[in-house]
Chain A
């Protein structure tokens, strides 16, 4: 029964992908607009006073949860379709043989749209270096790919608004571009593991992709299954925390030790964040809690970046291809970049 239903559900978009996309878009928009009145009605039907703390918290939860999940599903689906055109192999062709500078900018930007899983970091790294992508450019990609992606941006947009999402995008790309450029300037090639340096050079090429619209729709579905399926519990916890402290913890609670006027708040946030290992979604509940209670934005974004961009497991994986001085440089340069972001942010805003 269940098998039959999924078979039918998968065949229809497959045969009529265009009609499916139009219908899905209409349905999505309708659902999105209906959310606010529907959540108000739902809370009104409950025996709680809408004006009370509890009423406010409930309204926040029943509105924000479907809103963020809907946004996430929609954007992950569209990005899944877009991403299907950016395989690592094609990205490598675009970057191979370019000189640094512009290539760092390209690499960081491609990192945003190329699907990337941290367990692929090593094969990707070797594949890039082997095809003659400069080391610093490779790092720009490797830093941007996990840190700046559609999940992080959607969650920031859904929970904190487009301004914070855009700032995160701009600053994340800046860190990736600058850190990669600096690593390139340091001429660290001797610190690749010997077997990596000795691998035969290859000419990057990628077969032309012939993706039909239904292939792309299929890729969109796959992305939703894989990403939303994994991420939704974190989103739920994040919003629940946001709702729970929606009036129960004093607004300025965090400001006393994570406010703008504390110069040591940024380094502390980064030092705590670097060894932590989680994805963009996992860190959202913490970000939610910190921001809601008056921690400075730059400090919180620096924390978020350090958690996502650098982690202990990743450095252990990279150790297979990099010698210790290069890993240390990588961690130091990225950390410095994130620190700078935190300070600049706190100073400007």
Chain B
């Protein structure tokens, strides 16, 4: 199971990012746990300058704009299968 955090102050792009993550995970049958981080101080601790940001297992993998579907598929495919 992957722990994914979506960093963003609640704009439309953040919501779309979460939807996309869940859709791809569902499609691929990958189990994920998505957490929304909306507190600005918590967001800034990851050092990103544009939102939404995506953090997988405490690594920032994306910042700024909704990630492309192929990018999301790459994240969910890579790494362990546990």
Q: Which residues of A contact B (CB under 8 A)?
A: 87-89, 92, 115-117, 119-120, 122-124, 126-128, 195, 199, 202, 218, 222, 226, 317, 320-321
Contacts and interface: CB of A to CB of B under 8 A. Distances in A.
Sorted nearest first, the 7 A-B pairs with minimum C-beta distance are A119-B11, A127-B49, A120-B50, A88-B49, A120-B51, A124-B49, A88-B50
Contact of B40 (A116, A123, A222): A123
A280 B22 CA distance: 32
B48 A123 contact: yes
B43 interface: yes
A115 B11 contact: no
A202 B49 CA distance: 13
Contacts of B10: 119
A144 to B, nearest CB: 16
Contacts, number: 57
Contacts of A321: 40
A116 B51 CA distance: 10
B64 A119 contact: no
Contacts of A115: 50, 64-65
A124 B51 CA distance: 9
A125 to B, nearest CB: 9
Contacts of B44: 123, 126-127, 199
B82 interface: no
B64 to A, nearest CB: 7
Nearest to B11: A119
Contacts of B41: 195
Q: Is the interface of B mostly helix, strand, loop or mixed?
A: loop
A117 B11 contact: yes
Given A119-B8, A127-B49, 13 more contacts: A115-B65, A117-B50, A117-B64, A119-B13, A120-B50, A120-B51, A120-B64, A123-B49, A123-B51, A126-B44, A127-B47, A128-B49, A320-B40
Contact of A218 (B11, B47, B65, B68): B68
A128 B47 CA distance: 11
Interface in B14-65: 14, 40-41, 43-44, 47-51, 64-65
Contacts of B48: 123, 127
B8 A88 contact: no
Nearest to B7: A123
Contacts of A226: 65-66
7 contacts: A88-B49, A117-B11, A117-B13, A119-B13, A119-B51, A120-B64, A222-B65
A120 B68 CA distance: 19
Contacts of B65: 115, 117, 222, 226
Contacts of A116: 50
Contact of A88 (B9, B13, B64, B66): B64
A87 B48 CA distance: 11
Contacts of B11: 117, 119
Given A126-B44, A199-B44, A218-B68, A92 B9 contact: no
Nearest to B66: A226
Contacts of A127: 44, 47-49
Contacts of A126: 40, 44
A202 B47 contact: yes
Of B14, B40, B48, most buried by chain A (CB within 10 Å of CB) is B40
A128 B13 CA distance: 22
A117 B51 CA distance: 8
B9 A119 contact: yes
A119 B11 CA distance: 6
Given A92-B49, A117-B50, A123 B43 contact: yes
A120 B49 contact: yes
